Amino acid sequence: MQTKTVRVGGLSIGGDSPITIQSMWKKPLTGLDQQLVAEVNGLAAIGCDILRFAVPDMASAAVLGELATRVSIPLVADIHFDHKLALRCMDFPVAKIRINPGNIGAKWKVEELVRKALDKNVPIRVGVNHGSLPRHLARENDPAAAMVKAAEEEIETLESLGFGNIVISLKSSDTQSTVDANRLFARSFNYPLHIGVTEAGPLIPGIVRSTLAFSSLLAEGIGNTLRVSLSDTPDAELISAREILSALGLRKKGIRLVSCPRCGRSGFDVHGFLSKTMGRLMTLDKNLTVAVMGCVVNGPGEARHADIGITGAGNKVMIFKRGELARTIAEEEAIEVFFAELAAM
């Protein structure tokens, strides 16, 4: 679906822009130090394009604002109830504000906030969640229609103030309601959509539910930016988002991992190798398929098809590069030699 384009810091959401990956910081913003900067940069290195922070008070707003001057990815302030927090965030290079005008209170407060967003050219994401619909919509029988109605009312408020720099999200913890709401919205509006199943659950259920929703919506061209919302780490959210986009052919960059499940024939500790190397592999700025295999049944074949592959072979380990056997080594050397070969590619 062709949508408007909204600039978020140095990135664009919507229009012809690639689909961006988002996550959310999961701890309070109590202070700014080098470790926080390094952790945010670490998330950027594994694929975080945009990172959102809860801003419940003025101290958090100041930390977020200062942090935004120290990292390269766009940071988003997530604000509820108190419009002064949004005003404060916009004193800094915060790239987007997520609010629901409906919970900001009196109209003059929304007007003040929108005037400053216009003045600073800061986009607003209206985030509609099924769990926090306005009272007059909360009892609607059709959750998707209720969410779209809530978004429509919020959009009307912003447009009546001359504001159109808007991204919308319509999220439910129910996969089908999320899909239905986004489909319904995309039929009538051309604002870019941030898609996601909210409160999707712990790691495995959350990835499954999110994948189902994303594959339906993205196949129809609906969705411009996304978040996999997990009761797990931002790393898990980002890696699963990367994998979903990559499996759908919507993300070309980064390492594509092929690995065997391991069985009684395995001569190589595939699980141990991956648990020690995943973090490193995910931060590599290379566009390669990597195969990690347990034995000679499927190992040499998969390793040959990959750009680089490693497989157990008896009591040795073989490394293949671009289809050719490159090295045969002892398992103890596997990580060191593998990364040396990878670095040379």
Q: Cβ 262 to ligand SF4, closest distance in Å?
A: 5
- What contacts 204, CB < 8 A, 6 or more positions away? none
| CB-nearer residue toward ligand SF4: 55 or 303 | 303
Q: Cβ 22 to ligand SF4, closest distance in Å?
A: 35
Q: Cβ 308 to ligand SF4, closest distance in Å?
A: 17
What is the bridge-based pairing of β-strands 308-313 and 316-321?
antiparallel
| CB-nearer residue toward ligand SF4: 79 or 292 | 292
| CB-nearer residue toward ligand SF4: 62 or 293 | 293
Q: Cβ 251 to ligand SF4, closest distance in Å?
A: 27
CA distances to 45, 197, 338 from 321, in Å: 25, 39, 10
Could you give the 3-state DSSP secondary structure of residue 78? strand
Cα–Cα dist 69/195, whole Å: 27
Q: Cβ 331 to ligand SF4, closest distance in Å?
A: 14
| CB-nearer residue toward ligand SF4: 246 or 298 | 298
Query: H-helix or E-strand containing 63?
Result: helix 58-68
Q: Cβ 9 to ligand SF4, closest distance in Å?
A: 43
Q: Cβ 48 to ligand SF4, closest distance in Å?
A: 32
Q: Cβ 307 to ligand SF4, closest distance in Å?
A: 18
CA distances to 8, 171, 212, 234, 334 from 250, in Å: 20, 22, 15, 21, 32
C-beta of residue 135 within 8 angstroms of C-beta of residue 146: no
| CB-nearer residue toward ligand SF4: 184 or 303 | 303
Count CB neighbours of 65 within 10 A: 20
CA distances to 120, 230, 284 from 307, in Å: 46, 31, 14
Eight-class DSSP state of 16:
T
- Residue numbers of the site for ligand SF4 (CB under 6 A)? 260-263, 265-266, 293-295, 297-299
- What contacts 190, CB < 8 A, 6 or more positions away? 1, 2, 3, 4
Could you give the 3-state DSSP secondary structure of residue 41? helix
| CB-nearer residue toward ligand SF4: 124 or 310 | 310
CA distances to 74, 251, 259 from 19, in Å: 15, 8, 26
| CB-nearer residue toward ligand SF4: 164 or 301 | 301
HEC readout, 198-257: CCCCCHHHHHHHHHHHHHHHHHCCCCCEECCCCCCCHHHHHHHHHHHHHHCCCCCCCCEE
| CB-nearer residue toward ligand SF4: 173 or 298 | 298
